[in-house]
Amino acid sequence: MTICLINGLRNHGVDLDHLKKMNLEKPILCEKLELYYDHIPTEKKNMLVKISKIRGLTDTRLNTNCTWAQHMTGEAGVLALNRIETHYKYLQENGLAASIEYFQHPKHKINLSYLDKEDIYVVTDGNHRTVFAKMINAPYIFAEVEIYKHNYTSEAYYLHYKKLLKDLKESAEELNFHIQDRRIMYKDISLNTHEIPCYSSFNFNQEEMFWIKNRFRDIHEQLNFIEKRMRLFYFLNNKQKIRICSTLSHVRHVDHLKNAMNKDLLYSSLAQLYEGGYVYK
């Protein structure tokens, strides 16, 4: 935060301790909102909201590495400085009391989402107004508020999904693979495993969660199949490995198990790996 701007706000009556606090406190990313909160549209309301309870900005207007002050000064690189300057000019011309009153007027309302469990608000429209109102220590701002209620079952699904994804990532990395765009990759080679489940919301039923668990299990089994073949072919030279895997990739492998893996596709992936210079451990 520039000394010039600090002095400018101080000269118009903004408390220095508050400015120091804004130079330390960072807005947060509230990704949980879409993951395991239920939108309650019937409870939408227009109201005055305590500025201190607004903790997050719109994703596209947020830099989680920067403080509220850095968002205002442009250091965060996500807000339009000319819009901030408009509010600063209003403060210069009309004074602090008028600026505080400005943000409480329904004509200048912003849009917020309310997360009931955390008891906080997140901006969905009106980021510049919110940042400036916070910086001048306005107590309230007028807003149209959408209500989101915490769903405990969805949170449990989300946490379990995170663990499944973490375990799969660790298994892939042990083989020098990585996860990209829902696929398991080696460099730019996409393995012929199942796509990894990905969700923007976890507000679904138990049957869907059961399917997710089974899908992760199936992908682990596919990785295990690939690793076992790598061990089996370990002492062969690379040309032999490629020839064997290429041949087996054209053979339909009969497997009567439900949800049986396509072994021919996995052999094709093995051939690609060896052609791409992959070396098993």
pLDDT per residue as tens digits for the range 216-258: 999 999 999 999 999 999 999 999 999 999 999 987 665 544 4
Last residue of a domain, which of 89, 123, 150?
Answer: 150
Please tell me whether residues 55 and 127 are part of one structural domain. yes
Residue with tokens 């994804």: 165
Please tell me whether residues 15 and 141 are part of one structural domain. yes
Last residue of a domain, which of 99, 120, 150?
Answer: 150
Averaged pLDDT of the chain = 92
In this model, does residue 109 exceed pLDDT 80?
yes
The strand pair at 140-150 and 37-50 is best described as antiparallel
Buried b (16+ CB within 10 A) or exposed e, 105-130: eeeebbebbbbeebebbbbbebbbbb
Domain assignment present for 237: yes
Please tell me whether residues 142 and 177 are part of one structural domain. no
Please tell me whether residues 124 and 167 are part of one structural domain. no
Distance (Å, rounded) from C-alpha 180 to C-alpha 183? 5
Please tell me whether residues 167 and 261 are part of one structural domain. yes
Give the global pTM. Answer: 0.76
Please tell me whether residues 46 and 131 are part of one structural domain. yes
Please tell me whether residues 129 and 163 are part of one structural domain. no
Distance (Å, rounded) from C-alpha 7 to C-alpha 23? 14
Domain assignment present for 197: yes
Number of domains making up the chain: 2
Last residue of a domain, which of 132, 150, 168?
Answer: 150
pLDDT tens profile 169-211: 999 999 999 999 999 999 999 998 999 999 888 888 899 999 9
Please tell me whether residues 54 and 166 are part of one structural domain. no
Distance (Å, rounded) from C-alpha 29 to C-alpha 20? 22
Domain assignment present for 280: no
pLDDT tens profile 128-143: 999 999 999 999 999 9
Q: Quick one: tokens of 107?
A: 């004509």
Nearest-CA neighbor of 275 among 171, 175, 188? 188
Please tell me whether residues 70 and 128 are part of one structural domain. yes
Summarize the confidence of residues 136-156 as an average pLDDT: 96
Domain span holding position 122? 3-150
Please tell me whether residues 48 and 122 are part of one structural domain. yes
